[in-house]
Structure 1
């Protein structure tokens, strides 16, 4: 395997594990990245003007796509589904940060992971 292949595997692991961490382990913990003044992921969605049900839908989607991205290490046919799906959701995250006029750094993780996913997708084409 070439160096690029190893870099893409590393990106898949970084993105996949990070998304799972945010949505499964850190969902009830305050971080500097949360939108508005939210302390939990549910409060963050409230700050965006979004419902708890929508939070569950997005959470399920992000966790599922993160698992698909991790599975794509072994099953490369899944790569575009995981990387482009997460890119779309992360772009939505950036838009809602902009909508509520968050300081720029709160959008940075979503932007960084979106770029990583777009790199993953690009190398798959």
Structure 2
């Protein structure tokens, strides 16, 4: 197994980076879904699982998107505390992304290898 076999583990992180940068899961998917699909096809892992994990990661990245954090702080009246909120949200986001990656690896190589 080469480095490409880790694609299911890093797919959620790529999605999270995309939505962190853009503030939108949809934009993250537009940016990176084709990349995920082609990478999965190239390394021989499930394209469906890779793109699904991209979408999961995009949702997770919204938790720490600067645009969303600023909007939340403005709505609830705690402007100026964006850093505090971001620090509190980054740990759960990272934990969920790790679990999503592990679940993707489990699906790809243990539970349903070759099904998709």
- TM bucket (normalised to shorter chain) is 0.3 to 0.5
Q: Which has the higher helix share?
A: 2
**Could you say which structure has the larger radius of gyration?**
2
TM-score, with length taken from structure 1: 0.37
Higher relative contact order (CA 8 A, sep 6+): 2
